[in-house]
Structure formats: C-alpha cells, structure tokens
Amino acid sequence: MEPLQTVYRPRARFDLHATVGGFQRGPGDPTQRSSGGVIWRAVRTPAGVATLALSQQSDGSVRAASWGSGSGWAIAQVPALCGGLDSLDGFDASLHPLIADAHRRNAGLRIGRTDLVFDAFAQAVIEQKVTVRQAFRVWRRIVTWHGERAPGPIVLFAPPASWRGIPSWSWHRAGLEPPQSKTLVHAATRVEALERAARWAGTSEMTPKCVDSAPPDPQFGTTSAVTDPLLSFPGVGPWTAAETRIRALGDPDAVSVGDYHLAHHVGYALTGSRVDDDGMLELLEPWRGHRQRVIRLIMASGAAEPRRAPRLHEEDHTSR
C-alpha cells in the first residue's frame, strides 16, 4: 500500500526529537519508537488506524508518511503534533538566567499535541503514584498483550472497548493497581464525556466563575462544585488532568501539581532550594500562560538537585 506523504515546514527553528520524542513512553514503548533518525508512531485516529513515520531533513523540514485507514487524519495532524499550533507570544525567557540559557540552547523545543484524549488519559492514569520505570513497564505490557498490530513493525493502542474487557488478573499481572485499572475501565465507558471534559475550557485557566457560566452537563455532576470537569471522573486529580491536557492538547500553561519530584526540580533550578507545590506555583507565576514551557526548559537544562538518598524502591505487586 502506497503511503500518504507530506512535508511540514516549520515557521521557526524546530527539533523533531525534542518535541515529538517526548510522547514516547520509555525505550520499549510499543506504540512509538525511534530508529535511524525516523520516529515511528502507531495511532488509532477517529478515521481508523494509522502508522506515521517522521524524519527531519537538513533544512529543518519534516517528511511524513502514513499508512492505514486513518492515514489522512494522521497526515493532517502532523503540524499540531510537531508544535505548529504552539505560540511563544507573551513568553519572556529573560526573567531568569537559567530559563534564558535553556531557551537559547533548546530553541527548537515546541509543545506538540496528539489530539487523542483517551490515549493521553490512559497513559497519565498508568503513571499515577509509581516510578517512571514501573509506569513504562505497565504501559508496554498492557499495549503488547491487548493491542493490535498496526501497519508496519509497531503495535497499536487498544480501542476503549477493549480496555473495558481486560480481566482484572491481566491488570494485576501487568503491575497496575486496582484503583488505576478501575479508573481506566470507567473512563473507557464514557469516552465522549472524557473528550468533552478535556477540551471544555481549552486552557488550564479554570475558575469557579467560568464553571458557573458554562452549560450544565449531568455527566460532570454539579458544575458549581467542580472547577475542572476532568476532576469529576473517579480516580482523577489535578496531576492526571494536567498531564492529559499537556499530552493531548499541548497546553503550554498546565502544571502537574502533585508530582513527586516536579516541585523539587523547579525550586532547585530557580532558587537553589526545594519548594512544595505552592512554592512552585509562586515561582512559575511570572510565566503564567507558559508555565509548562518553563518546566520543559528546566528539565532540558539538566539542572538537578544532587542525589542524597537511594532511589525510590519499586514495589512489586504481581506476586500477590
């Protein structure tokens, strides 16, 4: 089958692997891999399944080819995936020397979006309250065991209906705890509501005032009591809601409050000392509208507090 092809030409400096490579969930991710300078992605689009191959050329352009029934959607979504909708308007890197230097060194870093809300949500739920290696291992096992082969050498993310049918023992064997698996199964029965909730405000700026002005939706509960519709889903807190919007919608301002390490990283990078979540939000306030961008630049800068204790022990629940 001949692929659909296109060439995406970014309007500004762009780094494909720094931007799109971040969607890969570990080196063994069955749904995305990098080989020979080419990023391969398997996606279940609204139009069908597709495999997407991306490679950056010497002139900065990105060649894209896609196979499968959803190839048209995948090709049309390439600019958004590569951060083409990401705007630097209002971002001032000069407010802190570390951010200024990181921005200069990583000028091609953009915030891309997949526009696949359930996929992003499932990844975020799997990554709740565990180490990165544990989360990547669970993702790899679940997708490998219950996904399907996409066109080419890559595995496709399972449809929501399949997630509803995964037996409890398979979740357990993969290493996922019951609260997280129940959250995923519940969300898989309400995919349209999940999609509406994630896209409802369009930004991370949600206040009680804007909630009260929104049309009530019985699936979200009482609107006056919920500032973010995603939080009405069982098992979903601010961290999961933020991570879902960052990955699916490329929210440049979302902050994953509640992360085990994030506040420490931000505090150390900007002040040389640890802070809690409230302290992190205070430090990031001057960049409101671009707080996620600042976080990514901090991570790209390599600024990290010296390790003073052993790594967090990974709990193994699969033997129970």
| Burial of 307 from C-beta contacts in 10 A (0-12 / 13-18 / 19+) | exposed
Looking at residue 317, its pLDDT comes to 55
Do residues 112 and 81 lie in contact, with contact meaning Cβ atoms separated by under 8 Å? yes
Cα separation of the two ends of the chain: 47
Rounded CA-CA distance 246/254 in Å is 7
Give the distance from CA 34 to its chain's centroid. Answer: 18
Rounded CA-CA distance 210/226 in Å is 11
Angle at 246 between CA 272 and CA 152, to 5 degrees: 120
Query: Residue 202 is encoded by which pair of tokens?
Result: 């369009």
Q: What mean pLDDT, rounded, does the chain reach?
A: 88
Q: With 50 as the cut, is the pLDDT of residue 206 above it?
A: no
Q: By C-alpha distance, which of 287, 288, 242, 234 is closest to 262?
A: 242
Q: With 80 as the cut, is the pLDDT of residue 147 above it?
A: yes
User: Per residue in 273-317, pLDDT tens?
Assistant: 999 999 999 999 999 999 999 999 999 998 887 766 555 555 655
Looking at residue 164, its pLDDT comes to 87
Q: With 80 as the cut, is the pLDDT of residue 29 above it?
A: yes
Q: Average of pLDDT values for 221-242? A: 78
Do residues 292 and 254 lie in contact, with contact meaning Cβ atoms separated by under 8 Å? yes
Q: With 70 as the cut, is the pLDDT of residue 236 above it?
A: yes
User: Per residue in 96-129, pLDDT tens?
Assistant: 999 999 999 999 999 999 999 999 999 999 999 8
Rounded CA-CA distance 113/120 in Å is 10
Do residues 298 and 283 lie in contact, with contact meaning Cβ atoms separated by under 8 Å? no
Looking at residue 260, its pLDDT comes to 86
Q: With 90 as the cut, is the pLDDT of residue 204 above it?
A: no
Looking at residue 313, its pLDDT comes to 55
Looking at residue 217, its pLDDT comes to 40
